[in-house]
Structure 1
Amino acid sequence: MHPADAIPPSPRPYRVVQWATGTLGTSVLRSVLDHPGLELAGVWVHSPAKAGLDAGALVDRPPTGVRATQELADILDLDADCVVYSPGRAGDPFSELDTICALLSSGKNLICLNGLVYPYAHGPYLATELEQACKRGGVSVHGSGFLGGFMADVMPLVLSRLSRRITHVYARQCLDLSRHPSWRMVHRVLGFGKQEDAYMCSLRPARTAMRALFSESLHLVAAGLRLDLDDIDVDVDYRLAGADLDIAAGRIPRDTVAAARWTFSGLAGGRPAITLEVIQKADALRIPDWGRPGYAVRVHGLPSLTLTTDEDWVSDDISAAAAHALNSIPVVCAAEPGIRTYLDLPLVTGRMEVDR
């Protein structure tokens, strides 16, 4: 029996709310409109300029009859099965907690694309608040995604099935952002284009946010391997542009920050047991340090396993993250109420479509 067959089929399309319409959110929105098993119930937007617009206009689709809103109350009043939650800011789950709990309490399952892959990493308060909200609404909350939510945690656990006596797990992502269109992401969020002193000043809040985000993946892997982590260590290094870099998101001037390498180490027994390396480059061709763009997962054990790919192994990582969330909707909606991580859910797969 296919794992999906254990889930009762829905008698109607799942009604979905898209929360936020940035780069990732618009990909989800477009996919919902194109999916025969999903129906758009609502859209929440950050920008006043988008409020009141038909959802179709946000993604170059025909009118849908669903208008975007900035009001949480409008979303709470909707009849919907699931909210796909993709806020632009990541790394501080507590800043969004009241909103997330309100959505859950209103009876809507929630799939987060910017965290919550393992909420227990943040201590008992957050997990308790989420569990109570899920209980009030009779629904579940699940964290999904592409790096956090798949490559950094799900894939290492999948590979671990083929090994025993595991001593270390390593996952790496190296991104070339030369074609990334978002000025906000490249310049404001990542801090590229800043003078070295300004970048150093921004590292303290950035370190806190990045630690909060990726500690979830480390703890998820640890939980899957039945390991308790003692602590998490965060290290960051950076490189300056040797010349002006003209990229899609705007110029990175010479002698400003143009690349960063974040290393997150889950410590156990006085040594790193799980390591996640996240490398971001404004232009990989001009910044050769730290290797080529792509992904790698290594499980050291008996036997040891290594999976490496170049950056082209996925044609569109944004669409992949969106698909991961949407393919998870049936199992999340069918789950018992509460926090449901990858470890709690049946296998999530896509669905093949063949013209006959």
Structure 2
Amino acid sequence: MIPTVVWGTGNVGRLAIRAVAAHPALELAAVIVHHPDKVGLDAGRLGELGHDTGVVATDDVEAVLAARPRAVVYAATGDIRPDGALADITRAVRAGAVVVSPALYPLYDHRSAPPEFRDPVAAAVAEGGGSLFASGVDPGWGNDVLPLLLSGLGTRIDAIRCQEIFDYSTYDQPDSVRDLVGMGQPLDRLPMMLAPSVPTLVWGGQIRMMARALGVELDEIRETVDRRPLERTVTTRTMGVFEAGTQGAVRFEVQGIVDGEPRLVIEHVTRIHGSCAPDWPVPPDGGDGAHRVIIEGRPHIEVTVEAADEGGNRSAGGNATAVGRLVGAIDWLVEAPPGLYDALDVPLRPAVGRLARTGRKQP
């Protein structure tokens, strides 16, 4: 069994606890929390497992890493604290751990990452012998392994479009939704996530990975952004009131330009309420979220993934699939040499040992 730490117990961390507990090769060794109210709580409660695990949460990072865990799922946010997330992750890598995390977007493609992100991790790998695999934004596989797998089914590829379409009214992360993305903010205020070059910082690495895998040279990466106001005030279950006239929907693209045309595109269509921007793309079933890959060419291929968790919540489902990809890679990474890894390095493998054997319906 591989002793594994879950660091952070928010929207991603509670799913990570469940994923580690379900993996036959992993053993939950510790849970690190920041909020003092969570210290001492059993991991089973924090991960909503329905039973205690005997592992209680701690905020003593030094003690946890001193025990030399073999793996760490770093689930704390990096959206609004990238420097803090980088410091935490390098600390775990320097302690010799395999680290998997969605927190550091620039390291999704470490080959093109800015030196201020890549160099500290590379130094920690050299010093401590750990590893890092960063992936998971919307939800990682939707912009790398899935479109590349589907491209292999075509005879001619004209363009690849990866879409995330989501209604965030059920997403309980106000710092990201209100401040980073700008939902509920005046349209004359440009939120951080939509500022020029920021979408490329977050999603450009995945564009570059697709180009590298397909053997094409990028002319450049471009961005487009469109925003719409709410026509009426709405109240969400998790994040409260969003006023009429404020930003209610945003649509942007990160475009990989090949031979002067946008050939590799990552598109986001995000709403705070389904009534906003009804003419923009929606999930095929009309639900609150989906991930789509569209391969233009011969043949034309479209695949839609609708994942749900925690009572049918699709934002939780998207997070769960991202976590599943990361946690499912740990045992492979433990056997691999120390280093920085991306989604093209780490194979997507069958869920060996995780097929449920109880509670199945009889034929």
Please confirm whether the aligned pair reaches a TM-score higher than 0.5, indicating the same fold. Answer: yes
- The answer (yes or no) to whether the contact 2:256–2:263 under 8 Å persists in 1 is yes
- The answer (yes or no) to whether the contact 1:120–1:126 under 8 Å persists in 2 is no
Amino acid at match of 1:32: V
How far has the Cα of 1:120 moved from its partner?
A: 2.0
Q: 1:33 aligns with which of 21, 33, 38?
A: 21
How far has the Cα of 1:132 moved from its partner?
A: 3.2
Specify the alignment match of 2:281 in structure 1.
291
Is 1:281 the counterpart of 2:271 in the alignment? yes
Amino acid at match of 1:299: I
Question: Where in structure 2 are the equivalents of 1:56-71 lying within 5 Å?
Answer: 56-60=44-48, 61-71=50-60
Question: Where in structure 2 are the equivalents of 1:262-281 lying within 5 Å?
Answer: 262-281=252-271
| Compared CA separation, residues 69 and 230, structure 1 to 2 (3 A) | farther
What CA distance in whole angstroms lies between the structure 1 residues aligned with 2:181 and 2:193? 13
What CA distance in whole angstroms lies between the structure 2 residues aligned with 1:346 and 1:145? 15
What CA distance in whole angstroms lies between the structure 2 residues aligned with 1:284 and 1:159? 30
**TM-score after normalising by structure 1:** 0.85
Question: Where in structure 2 are the equivalents of 1:295-334 lying within 5 Å?
Answer: 295-301=291-297, 303-309=298-304, 311=306, 316-334=317-335
> Which runs of 5 or more structure 1 residues have no equivalent in the other structure?
1-12
Worse-matched range after superposition: 70-79 or 151-160? 70-79
Question: Where in structure 2 are the equivalents of 1:150-229 lying within 5 Å?
Answer: 150-197=141-188, 199-200=189-190, 202-203=191-192, 206-229=195-218
Specify the alignment match of 2:236 in structure 1.
247
What CA distance in whole angstroms lies between the structure 1 residues aligned with 2:230 and 2:73? 37
How far has the Cα of 1:81 moved from its partner?
A: 1.5
Worse-matched range after superposition: 108-117 or 164-173? 164-173
Worse-matched range after superposition: 227-236 or 167-176? 227-236
- The answer (yes or no) to whether the contact 2:249–2:271 under 8 Å persists in 1 is yes
| Compared CA separation, residues 229 and 285, structure 1 to 2 (3 A) | same
Q: Give the total of aligned pairs.
A: 341
How far has the Cα of 1:104 moved from its partner?
A: 0.8
What CA distance in whole angstroms lies between the structure 1 residues aligned with 2:175 and 2:98? 29
**TM-score after normalising by structure 2:** 0.83
Specify the alignment match of 2:286 in structure 1.
none
- The answer (yes or no) to whether the contact 2:228–2:276 under 8 Å persists in 1 is no
How far has the Cα of 1:27 moved from its partner?
A: 1.2
Specify the alignment match of 1:8 in structure 2.
none
| Compared CA separation, residues 90 and 119, structure 1 to 2 (3 A) | farther
| Compared CA separation, residues 325 and 203, structure 1 to 2 (3 A) | closer
- The answer (yes or no) to whether the contact 1:42–1:68 under 8 Å persists in 2 is yes
Stretches (4+) displaced over 4 A: 60-63, 91-95, 203-209, 310-315
Worse-matched range after superposition: 43-52 or 170-179? 43-52
Question: Where in structure 2 are the equivalents of 1:135-154 lying within 5 Å?
Answer: 135-145=126-136, 147-154=138-145
Worse-matched range after superposition: 335-344 or 150-159? 335-344
What CA distance in whole angstroms lies between the structure 1 residues aligned with 2:280 and 2:99? 37
| Compared CA separation, residues 203 and 186, structure 1 to 2 (3 A) | closer
What CA distance in whole angstroms lies between the structure 1 residues aligned with 2:80 and 2:261? 25
How far has the Cα of 1:267 moved from its partner?
A: 2.4
| Compared CA separation, residues 180 and 150, structure 1 to 2 (3 A) | same
Secondary structure at 1:184's aligned position in 2? Answer: helix
Worse-matched range after superposition: 209-218 or 64-73? 64-73
Worse-matched range after superposition: 99-108 or 123-132? 123-132
Query: CA offsets per residue over residues 1-56 of structure 1, 9 Å max, x none?
Result: xxxxxxxxxxxx22111111111111111332344432112222232332344433
- The answer (yes or no) to whether the contact 2:139–2:322 under 8 Å persists in 1 is no
Secondary structure at 2:329's aligned position in 1? Answer: helix
Specify the alignment match of 1:75 in structure 2.
64
Secondary structure at 2:76's aligned position in 1? Answer: coil
Worse-matched range after superposition: 245-254 or 61-70? 61-70
Amino acid at match of 1:273: R
- The answer (yes or no) to whether the contact 1:146–1:317 under 8 Å persists in 2 is no
